[in-house]
Amino acid sequence: MSRELKRKIGVNFNDAGLAEIRFWSPEAETVELKTEAVTVALEKKELGYWELSGAGIYPGNTYQFLINGETLIPDPASLSQPQGVHGPSEAVDLSAFSWTDQDWKNPELGDYIFYELHTGTFTPEGTFEGIIAKLDYLVELGITAIEIMPVAQFPGGRNWGYDGVFPFAVQNSYGAAAGLQQLVDASHAKGLAVVLDVVYNHMGPEGNYFEQAGPYFTEKYHTPWGSAINFDDAWSDGVRRYFIENVLMWFRDFHIDGLRLDAVHAIKDLGVKHLLQEISEEVDQLIEATHRKHHLIAECDLNDNKYINSPDQHGYGMDAQWIDEFHHALRVTAGEPATGYYSDFSGIKDLEKSYRDAYIYDGVYSPHRLKTFGGTAEGNAGSQFVVFSQNHDQVGNRMLGERSSTLVSYEMQKLMAGAVICSPFLPMLFMGEEWGETNPFLFFTSHGDPELIKAVSKGRKAEFAAFHAEGEAPEPQSEDTFNQSKLQWDLLQSDGHSELLSFYKTIIGLRKKYAPLRNTNRKQLTVSADAKTNCLVLRRWEEEVQVLCLMNFSKNTQDITIPDDKPSWKKILDSADPQWKGRRAAPLSVDALQKMEIQPQSILIYTNKYA
């Protein structure tokens, strides 16, 4: 790898195996590198950087930085924290890993079928090795991309990952840097892309040594986590470079295929060029140099397509975004009470709009927000939106962490899966939903600071103070809370669970097999919903092939009239079929204008031509 492509901050090793150290601390008077054996001064350079070459430090050595002779901290750009967030950093040579994925080609986003997982609870082992052991299962399910919740080093061994404080260091209890590289390499060998969730809008509270190093934060903006990360104030160039280097590292040194950027609406940047646009441009340069494709996916709740428009369209250049509104409309249609943020959604007519327009609030008044909200997504392809019926936020931020399996009927679980997978968007599953996992996914932590533990527990209980009828909010710090959130793999062979898994495999297979379901062209569909019957008809096409999806979200049998543009339709999936533990199968074929009966809480899929 050329020198120009290598990481430009932290402790790195050149082709001769010598350390090259670059540390950013613009307001420091002196900076020294301390190891167990030596203390060496760094030389001050331009723009707040301090540098040192050939310092007698090698891979596996631990080190810290001493600022002004009195403040000793780990490296903010540390690649490894073997003793946790308060311990010294460990020097790592990322180029030491032997990759075998030279022939891997990252799929187009339109071919992604995501599977979101949390490393610590996905398997009994709670490690990257544990995930590797399940890759064949995910391939058989039909997944094309695994999406891993954040792995940046956090306090202790139990955390969702959004409290990370070393963005470059891979969580030691999961398997550290080499373990993640091994997972990516193994995934590529199985034909699976790997997406990693990263957090650039805030840092966790415990083990956060950034302020001692330099002006990483600004008081210009207020955020839910305190001072905002400094992306546009004095000395912000060094902070921006820090996070850009982080993006490039995941793609270049870990062969990650895509990043999901957490809550980008909380990135405060009023500079001429937004941080996200600069990231996009730097990634494009990396792609040109390495000929490896990478995707940038934003989580954003602003319904503003400038995040996913290209810079020449005055956008930030993100390739896609999560779209919560599809989820909210689907959940209310399925019976979720319209309270809290769900109060903005009326049900099936909103679901109809989301299939057609992606954004539901596209410049209309939002009663929940008490203001006109959003813009249109006109011109944005379906492949720029990720949709789901569950995810870590929507499950884990419920007081009791209930999954769909305990909130809706068995039949509704199949229907919701169909609604997501048959959409013109990119479908995502949340780990375990495909077999109806019954364990909750709860909020859990393993902080070491007693005061922080109390504050988190108090905050969680206050958040759900109005829900005492449902019991107490589980204690985040308890190991039992973490263990309750682990998947139960033995359920796969149980009655009902095995049939649900088979249903998921079948409908994912249909999405891959039938071009109208596989394409993400939002222009090639019609959709109509009947609020009275709570039924929806979605028709999609690709050239001569058409697919008709009939969905009944009501608890009663309903009559649906078949559209009249084709003479005959042939059934390819019926969630009410006895093979999926349904009560009555629909006819194998139906004619145009025929009125047919559709079972409660079910989906029927017909085509005019078998693929």
- pLDDT above 60 for 86: yes
**Annotated binding-site residue? 265:** yes
- pLDDT above 90 for 565: no
Q: Residue 294, SS3?
A: coil
pLDDT band at 466 (very low <50, low <70, confident <90, very high): low
pLDDT tens digits, residue range 121-159? 999 999 999 999 999 999 999 999 999 999 999 999 999
- pLDDT above 60 for 1: no
pLDDT tens digits, residue range 26-71? 999 999 999 999 999 999 999 999 999 988 899 999 999 999 999 9
Calculate mean pLDDT across residues 274-296. 98
pLDDT band at 378 (very low <50, low <70, confident <90, very high): very high
Q: Which secondary-structure segment (H or E) carries 525?
A: strand 525-530
Calculate mean pLDDT across residues 560-565. 85
One-letter amino acid at 540 equals R
pLDDT tens digits, residue range 483-513? 999 999 999 999 999 999 999 999 999 999 9
Q: Helices 410-421 & 324-333, crossing angle to 10 degrees?
A: 150
Contact present, 171 and 179 (Cβ < 8 Å): no
Kindly write down the DSSP assignment for every residue of 98-127, as one continuous string.
----TT--PPPGGG--EEEE-HHHHSSS-S
The Cα–Cα gap between 279 and 486 comes to 35
pLDDT tens digits, residue range 348-376? 999 999 999 999 999 999 999 999 999 99
Catalytic residue among 299, 304, 574, 577: 299
Report the residue count for the chain.
Answer: 611
One-letter amino acid at 113 equals I
> Residue 262 catalytic?
yes
Number of H helices, E strands in the chain: 16, 31
Q: Residue 195, Cβ neighbours under 10 Å: how many?
A: 23
The Cα–Cα gap between 367 and 344 comes to 6
**Annotated binding-site residue? 397:** yes
The Cα–Cα gap between 410 and 138 comes to 22
Picking from 316, 303, 311, the residue whose alpha carbon sits closest to that of residue 344 is: 303
**Annotated binding-site residue? 136:** no
The Cα–Cα gap between 336 and 343 comes to 10
Strands 193-198 and 145-148: parallel
Q: Which tokens in the block code for residue 329?
A: 């409309």
**Annotated binding-site residue? 540:** no
For the chain, give the mean pLDDT: 96
pLDDT tens digits, residue range 100-126? 999 999 999 999 999 999 999 999 999
Is the sign of the CA dihedral 519, 523, 525, 529 positive or negative?
Answer: positive
pLDDT band at 230 (very low <50, low <70, confident <90, very high): very high
**Annotated binding-site residue? 527:** no
CA 405 to chain centre: 21
The Cα–Cα gap between 256 and 104 comes to 11
Calculate mean pLDDT across residues 242-267. 98
User: How far is the first Cα of the chain from the last one, in angstroms, to the nearest whole number?
Assistant: 45
CA 81 to chain centre: 24
Residue given tokens 């078949």 in the structure block: 562
> Residue 111 catalytic?
no
Residue 458 CB partners (closer than 8 Å, separation 6+): none
pLDDT band at 379 (very low <50, low <70, confident <90, very high): very high
Catalytic residue among 75, 163, 257, 262: 262
Calculate mean pLDDT across residues 452-461. 92
Q: Which secondary-structure segment (H or E) carries 434?
A: none
Residue given tokens 């996009």 in the structure block: 280
Q: Residue 74, SS3?
A: coil
One-letter amino acid at 525 equals L
pLDDT at residue number 461: 85
pLDDT at residue number 568: 87
pLDDT at residue number 467: 60
Same fold, 3-93 and 515-607: yes
pTM greater than 0.95? yes
Q: What is the largest CA-CA distance in the chain?
A: 84
Class of domain 109-500: alpha beta
CA 143 to chain centre: 15
**Annotated binding-site residue? 326:** yes
**Annotated binding-site residue? 13:** no
**Annotated binding-site residue? 393:** yes
The Cα–Cα gap between 350 and 324 comes to 12
How many percent of the chain have pLDDT more than 70? 98
**Annotated binding-site residue? 263:** yes
The Cα–Cα gap between 246 and 24 comes to 14
Residue 454 CB partners (closer than 8 Å, separation 6+): none
pLDDT band at 224 (very low <50, low <70, confident <90, very high): confident
Picking from 249, 236, 248, 243, the residue whose alpha carbon sits closest to that of residue 262 is: 243
- pLDDT above 90 for 468: no
pLDDT tens digits, residue range 314-352? 999 999 999 999 999 999 999 999 998 899 999 999 999
**Annotated binding-site residue? 288:** no
Q: Which tokens in the block code for residue 150?
A: 């954040």
**Annotated binding-site residue? 214:** no
Domain parsing of the chain, residue ranges: 3-93, 109-500, 515-607
Calculate mean pLDDT across residues 465-473. 69
Q: Which CATH number fits domain 3-93: 1.10.3720.10, 1.10.287.4070, 2.60.40.10, 3.40.50.300?
A: 2.60.40.10
Calculate mean pLDDT across residues 550-562. 96
CA torsion, points 338, 344, 348, 349, in degrees to nearest 10?
150
Q: Which tokens in the block code for residue 234?
A: 């004095």
pLDDT band at 391 (very low <50, low <70, confident <90, very high): very high
The CATH code for residues 515-607 is: 2.60.40.1180
* Cross-strand pairs, 116: 147, 430
pLDDT at residue number 469: 55
pLDDT at residue number 472: 85
Residue given tokens 């799929």 in the structure block: 107
Calculate mean pLDDT across residues 207-214. 97
